[in-house]
Amino acid sequence: STFYERYHSLEDIYIWINRTQQDNPDTVKVILIGSSFEKRPLYVLKLSVNNRPNKKAMWIDCGIHAREWISPAFCLWFVQYSLSFYQSNKDITNILDNMDVYILPVLNPDGYHYTWTTNRMWRKNRSTNMSTKCIGVDLNRNFDANWCTEGASDQPCTEIYCGAFPESEPETQAVADFLRSHKDIVQIYFSIHSYSQMLLFPYSCTLEEAENHSELLEMVKEAAGQIHRYYRNIYKYGPGANTIYLAPGGSDDWAYKLGIKYSFTFELQDRGRYGFLLPPSHISDACNEALLAVKTIALKVVEKT
Ligand code: 0X9
Ligand code: ZN
């Protein structure tokens, strides 16, 4: 199997980030956007193929939940694919000619490291708090979107603990600060999770419909259709609250409310057979499906502008 068909430790991913930048100095920039609770760096790769001014952008983050290993694997897959097939695949060429791509391969490095060393099923970050012996905040409940209402918990010992206040966690803050300062250029937001095979859009924090609901529904419907057509695999799609469950404080809803009108959460393979323990032999299928969905949606946004 190739490098991209295996899971990698955090240390290996840091080495990969560095090497990818060195091997592609004209296309790849590494941006330090902050650091984790345990002071690990949060690196974003910026893919940019020419210096056309006023280019729009797309954001992809992976690994917000520690145990969802297919997610960082997807971010690496996406970067590799983009760098390899720019100029030869017309879709990726069209996308990169029209927008820069910001990729955060591991949003929750402390949690990810912990799943490699101590507890494979860890979900949250690794922050501690004087008022409790329990460790970790669910970073996808820590954003400022109907924060800590139904679907999150104020109990530090639960898996869906929302934290002491919105953006209490350094990982959340780093992402939110970066997106706030780039909100005029970022058109599309993707957050990659597993498992359950779903293409979700806002809202998850309320049962209300997003302002451009029908446009978003059209996009994920087409993406799910493409996945079915090419890979014969079923993905559900729809607003998070109706399709998976009510869950406030998520990054997708927050990004949407910030003004990023094309905001999505993908839940990759599988539908529960292996769950978070998806075998490495399934990485290429899972990533190719998600890649097709990202391309389909990004092309639709490029078409509009
Ligand atoms: O609960 C979550 O955060 C996500 N599911 S997971 O099994 N990967 O934990 C779904 C997130 C959907 N979006 C929001 N809740 N905002
Ligand atoms: Zn998740």
Per-residue pLDDT, 52:
77
Which pLDDT tens digits describe the chain residue by residue (305 residues)? 999 999 999 999 999 999 999 999 999 999 999 999 999 999 999 999 987 777 999 999 999 999 999 999 999 999 999 999 999 999 999 999 999 999 999 999 999 999 999 999 999 999 999 889 999 999 999 999 999 999 999 999 999 999 999 999 999 999 999 999 999 999 999 999 999 999 999 999 999 999 999 999 999 999 999 999 999 999 999 999 999 999 999 999 999 999 999 999 999 999 999 999 999 999 999 999 999 999 999 999 999 98
- Closest ligand 1 atom to 253 CA: 16
DSSP state for residue 133 in the 8-state scheme? S
Per-residue pLDDT, 20:
98
Per-residue pLDDT, 144:
98
Among 68, 137, 140, 136, smallest CA distance to 105 is for 68
**Closest ligand (CA of 72):** 2
Helix, strand, coil percentages in the chain from 3-state DSSP, rounded to 5 = 40, 20, 40
Contact 37, 93 (CB under 8 A): no
- Closest ligand 1 atom to 141 CA: 3
Contact 67, 281 (CB under 8 A): no
Contact 178, 44 (CB under 8 A): yes
- Burial label, 98 (beta-carbon count in 10 A; 0-12, 13-18, 19+): buried
CA–CA dist 191, 103 (Å, integer): 10
Which residue's alpha carbon is at the smallest distance from atom 16 of ligand 1?
250
- Burial label, 195 (beta-carbon count in 10 A; 0-12, 13-18, 19+): buried
- Ligand 1 centre distance from Cα of residue 249 (Å): 10
- Ligand 1 centre distance from Cα of residue 137 (Å): 14
Among 211, 239, 226, smallest CA distance to 288 is for 226
Question: Residue ranges of the domains in the chain?
Answer: 3-120+174-304
- In which region does residue 238 sit, left (phi positive, over 0), alpha (psi from -120 to 50) or beta (all else)? left
- Say which CATH superfamily domain 3-120+174-304 falls into: Zn peptidases (3.40.630.10)
What tokens appear for 207 in the block? 């049962």
- Ligand 2 centre distance from Cα of residue 64 (Å): 7
What tokens appear for 112 in the block? 């990810």
Among 71, 46, 70, smallest CA distance to 58 is for 46
User: Which of 65, 144, 220, 258 should be mutated for ligand 1, with most atoms under 8 A from CB?
Assistant: 65
Q: Say yes or no: CB of residue 252 within 6 Å of ligand 1.
A: yes
Which residue's alpha carbon is at the smallest distance from atom 2 of ligand 1?
140
| pTM check: above 0.80 | yes
Q: Is 267 a catalytic residue?
A: yes
Per-residue pLDDT, 53:
76
How many other CB atoms sit within 10 Å of the CB of residue 296?
19
- Closest ligand 1 atom to 194 CA: 8
- Ligand 2 centre distance from Cα of residue 138 (Å): 9
To 5 degrees, how large is the angle CA 69–CA 255–CA 115? 20
Per-residue pLDDT, 54:
78
Q: Say yes or no: CB of residue 250 within 6 Å of ligand 1.
A: yes
Contact 79, 291 (CB under 8 A): no
Q: Say yes or no: CB of residue 200 within 6 Å of ligand 1.
A: yes
- Complex-level ipTM: 0.99
- Ligand 1 centre distance from Cα of residue 117 (Å): 24
User: By three-state DSSP, how is residue 9 classified?
Assistant: coil
DSSP state for residue 64 in the 8-state scheme? S
Among 140, 189, 136, smallest CA distance to 167 is for 140
**Stretch (H or E) spanning 104:** strand 99-104
